[in-house]
Amino acid sequence: MAGTRKVMLFVESNTSGTGRLMLQAARTRGYEPVLLAADVARYRFAAEDGIGVVQADTTDAAAIVTLFRERSWRSRLAGVLSTSEYFIAVASEVAARLDLPGPAIAAVRAARDKDSQHRRLSAAGVPVPAGTVVRRVDEIERVASRLHFPVVAKPTMGSGSTGARLCVGVEELQEHVTRLLAARANERGLPVPSEALLQEYIDGPQYSVETLGLQVVGITANHIGPPPCFVEVGHEHPAELDPIAARQLRTVARRALAALGLTWGPAHVELRMAAGGPRVIEVNARLAGGWIPELVRLSSGVDLIAGIVDLSAGHPLRIRRRHRRIACIRFLVADRDGVITAVTGADGTAMADGVVDVRLYKHVGEDVRCFGDFRDRIGHAISVAENPLAAIAAAEQALKCLSVRVESTK
């Protein structure tokens, strides 16, 4: 019965993908998942999955602790966590206040602030792109002489490549930074600091190292859409790498985590392979998005999502690889604003051998907007095969069969 099961408390969540899967995993593993949300209506899937949602001020750890003590969860709480980049610090603080497992609060906050993260990694000798933070547009002319264009400009507190842009000259950089500094809130409506991080652009293939504690679970190949934005359009796990490159990526990722103090729980370390070796683009104190945890499970049998649930409840970490295959995802990305008027291929009837999942995130009649970040992705195809070429071919073929007609409303 729900009233006697241990409760797993989630402070907000991703609205799809990992968020939904982790709530389901908590239930599968015998817990009663309870989702705290400032806006209950944001989580349409919760009603579909029978997940309890409680309205709360999810930016205030003290308020959550007070709410917890007023509820019947007090004697039944097993763990506190979040799958959302924007709430992992609050969740870690709540866990600490309630003497439950979780990452070090200071480490999470250092990782969340990309300026602080960049400075800590650089001071520790971890290879990172050259960078500086600006808080006024007129600072750009002062620092422009030290910048080697193109330059990546992004918010210091962001997620999913939101607000990140490749700028090829001073004028373009000034225009984009002006927009970043004018923003008062992010896509979730949370306040953001009026500052922007400018980083040297590293021209090389991108990878992400998926970790639990300091243990590397695997390396993922990341594919980025056309500039000036950084929309991730696909992944393969594990990445096809020579042993030396793989060892370099693992070593640098571990050094970055140690420098930040992220020695508990999941992390997603993004790196680019430059001519002189890997450079850390950023470290995220959470599981990867983009369905990467599902690729890890399909390729190796390692269930990162279930592992995080267990770890948050105080159980020892066990990583057991059952097989080695290649899992691949390709995303359908919107190329215009408008309304979806027709969809074909979403029923999966045209799926090739090896394709295990084809889905759309939006349906006929829904609006589509292009933001230049993760929100541009409106569907995907996932495949599994014994070698990279077969997996990639299957996913790309399935994606070609997935068609969405978007008509402009202007």
Residues with a known catalytic role: 286
Which has the closest alpha carbon to 297: 14, 44, 50, 17?
Answer: 17
Tell me if residue 375 falls in helix, strand or coil.
Answer: helix
The number of residues making up the chain comes to 410
Strand partners, 356: none
Q: Hey, what are 206's tokens? A: 């991108």
Angle at the Cα of 272 (from 268 to 275), degrees rounded to 5? 150
Look up residue 318 and give its amino acid: R
Q: Hey, what are 291's tokens? A: 């369905």
Alpha-carbon dihedral sign for residues 173, 226, 200, 234:
positive
Spatial contact of 398 and 329, defined as CB atoms under 8 Å apart: no
Which has the closest alpha carbon to 114: 97, 133, 101?
Answer: 133
Angle at the Cα of 232 (from 246 to 253), degrees rounded to 5? 30
Residue ranges in 131-242 assigned as alpha helix (H): 139-144, 170-182
Spatial contact of 286 and 259, defined as CB atoms under 8 Å apart: no
Whole-angstrom distance, CA of residue 38 vs CA of residue 41: 9
Q: Hey, what are 221's tokens? A: 């190949």
Spatial contact of 248 and 278, defined as CB atoms under 8 Å apart: yes
Alpha-carbon dihedral sign for residues 281, 286, 291, 292:
positive
Q: Hey, what are 34's tokens? A: 């309870």
Strand partners, 238: none
Tell me if residue 403 falls in helix, strand or coil.
Answer: strand
Backbone angles phi, psi at 134, to 5 degrees: -125, 145
Helix (H) or strand (E) holding 94: helix 88-97
What is the number of helices (H) and of strands (E) in the chain?
Answer: 12, 19
Backbone angles phi, psi at 365, to 5 degrees: 95, -10
